[in-house]
Amino acid sequence: MPREYLPIFIFLVIAILFPIATILAARLIRPSHPNATKGEAYECGIPPFSNSRGRYAVRFYIVAILFAIFEVETIFLFPWAVESKHLGWFGVAEVAVFLVFLAVGYLWAYKKGAFEWV
């Protein structure tokens, strides 16, 4: 083995052994008194009364995905704001087109009824 790779190999061995050693040490040190109450799901002190795998309406997921998509798209405005002086009117036109696409996406979601909770 070349000498240049020795520190990487040592680091790799430590990176593998350290988590294993800490998990084993925690298992030896911690108290273990299992019972039925500890095995139950904790719901803010309220005893669970139904299966946690209930069905949710699809519109919750649609709104969440729309929020994530439009939130990520608005993050792209930050680099434009930083370089807005250097971009000039071309940059203003680019952002205007971007915001029009964003508005069209919101209007499309509104027309599809994604924001109605009935």
* pLDDT at 22 > cutoff 90: yes
Please report the pLDDT score of residue 29 as a whole number.
94
pLDDT of residue 58: 73
Report the predicted TM-score, pTM, of the whole model to 2 decimal places: 0.44
- Region class of 45: left (phi > 0), else alpha (psi between -120 and 50), else beta: left
- The string of pLDDT tens digits covering residues 44-63 is 666 666 666 777 777 777 77
pLDDT for the residue numbered 99: 85
Residues 101-113: pLDDT tens digits? 888 888 888 888 7
Residue type, 64: A
Distances (CA, A) of 13 to 5, 17, 26, 27, 102: 12, 6, 20, 21, 49
Which of the four pLDDT bands, split at 50, 70 and 90, describes residue 43? low
